[in-house]
Structure 1
Amino acid sequence: MNTTTRISTAERLGRGWRAYARGERRLSSWLASKGVPVVGAALAVWVVKLAVLGVLLYTMSWLVLLLVFAVVAAWVARNAGLADDPPEPEWRNGSAGFGLYTYDGFRIDPHVEDDE
C-alpha cells in the first residue's frame, strides 16, 4: 500500500495562483524600488494583464472562426451529393438491342452485331 499523499488538482491550482500573486507583488515592489510610483506600478501590471487578455481573445476569435469555417465546409461537403454513386447498370432493351445499359443509355456489355 502506498502511503504517500497525493496533491489534488485544486490544491495544485491554488499553489500556482499564490505563486503568481507573489510574483506580481514582487514585480510591483521592484518597480516601486526603481522610482516608479506605486499607482504607476499597479497600472503597469494591469496594462500587461489587459494586453495578454487582448492577445488571448484575438487568438481565440481566429481559432473560433477557423472552427466555424471547418464545420461549415464539412456540412457543405456532406450535403453536396459528392458521395452519391450513379445508378447501377441494368439489363434492358435499348437502341443497340437487349443488353446491359448505363443510366445514360450506353450499352456496356460486349455484343456481336451478327447475333441480332
Structure 2
Amino acid sequence: MNTTTRISTAERLGRSFGRGWRAYVRGERRASNWLVSKGVPAAGATALVWMVKLVALGVLLYTTFWLAMLLVCVMVVAWTARNADLGEELPEPEWRNGPAGFGLYTYDGFRIDPHVEDD
C-alpha cells in the first residue's frame, strides 16, 4: 500500500483557483496603492477600482446578452427549418378516370399520357 497521499483533481483545481484569486487581490491592492501614491485619496482609489470592476461586469453582461440572443436566433432558425415543408414534392401522377377518360392524370386534373381522341 502506498503511504503517499495524492490530492484529487477537484482539490488541485481548487488550489489553482485560490492561487489565481490571491494573485488578483494582490494586483488590485497594488493598483490601489499606486493610485494613492500618485495623490488620489484612498476612498477615491477604492471607488475607482470598484468602477473598473463594474464596467468589466457590464461589458461581460452585455456580451453575454448578445451571445444569448444569437443563440436564440439560431435555435429559432433551426426550429423553423426543421418544421418547414421545403422537401415536400408534388404528388405523383396517377392512373384514373377523368374528364378526358381513363389515363394518367396529375394532381390538378390534367391528363399527361398520350391518348387518341377517337377512342
TM range (shorter): 0.7 to 0.9
Q: How large is the Cα RMSD of the aligned pairs?
A: 2.7
- 2:81 — aligned with what? 77
- 2:35 — aligned with what? 31
**Residues 85 and 28 of structure 1: CA distance in aligned 2, closer, same or farther (over 3 Å):** same
- 1:113 — aligned with what? 116
* 2:57 pairs with 1:53: yes
TM-score if structure 1 supplies the norm length? 0.76
TM-score if structure 2 supplies the norm length? 0.74
**Count of residue correspondences:** 113
| Segments of 4+ moved more than 6 angstroms | none
C-alpha distance in 1, partners of 2:107/2:117? 25
Matched position secondary structure for 2:47: helix
| Structure 2 residue identity aligned to 1:113 | V
Unmatched 5+ stretches in structure 2: 1-6
Structure 1 vs Structure 2: percent identity of aligned residues? Answer: 63
Matched position secondary structure for 1:113: coil
| Structure 2 residue identity aligned to 1:60 | T
**Residues 108 and 22 of structure 1: CA distance in aligned 2, closer, same or farther (over 3 Å):** farther
